[in-house]
Amino acid sequence: MAFDYKKEYKEFYLPKKKPAFVTVPPMNFIAVRGKGNPNEEGGAYKQSIGLLYGVAFTIKMSKMGYHRIDGYFDYVVPPLEGLWWQEGSDGINYSRKEDFEWISMIRLPDFVTKAEFDWAIAEASEKKKTDFSKVEFLSYEEGLCVQCMHIGPYDDEPATIEAMDAFAKEQGFLPDMQGPRRHHEIYLSDVRKCNPEKLKTVIRHPVK
């Protein structure tokens, strides 16, 4: 049976609908950086998703080809994630989607080194005849965070975030979205197939 990160690491991918603390260790990701409204048809964000999955499945399906990755094991490609921010603001203003800056990303299994990532970029570029130069190997250490499962449309997230901030404050912690630490979302539902009222999104905020 393929290794499923969501099931094996439920503390990171399947939190409860009430805020709780979690300490997130260093992880490696396939990542694409960009700016702008994620809902723009054919925009940079939607293009980034295609690039991410192009590389993710090149690595996953390497078992079928000539290239053998040391330590490879069969796995389910982890869910799409995103770091979000707006320049000059500590929070997120959902009415200003055009001002979003983001890093779209997918977690890499630990056996994928930078060298194997570089192989996957070259392999995907050759086979798909697509420019994958925007895709990067990102190491990210999140540390102590407050997180919660949000059920419903993305535009309804402020209420969940307010509950998270209140919980953290009650425990003596404050949001710490400075430097690389950002508003973090993990998408557990396929937005193309799921009723907006049933979308499941993990929301995570670093705290100090």
- pLDDT at residue 133, as a whole number: 96
What are 191's two structure tokens?
A: 């937005």
Q: How many domains does the chain have?
A: 1
Distance CA 174, CA 190 (A): 32
Full-model pTM: 0.95
* Structural domain that includes position 59: 5-206
pLDDT confidence tier of residue 179, bands split at 50, 70 and 90: confident
- pLDDT at residue 17, as a whole number: 96
Among 23-27, 67-71, 176-180, the range scoring the smallest mean pLDDT is 176-180
138: domain CATH number is: 3.20.80.10
pLDDT per residue as tens digits for the range 138-163? 999 999 999 999 999 999 999 999 99
Residue 147 main-chain phi, psi, to 5 deg? -140, 165
Closest among 155, 40, 31, 12 to 102, alpha carbons compared: 31
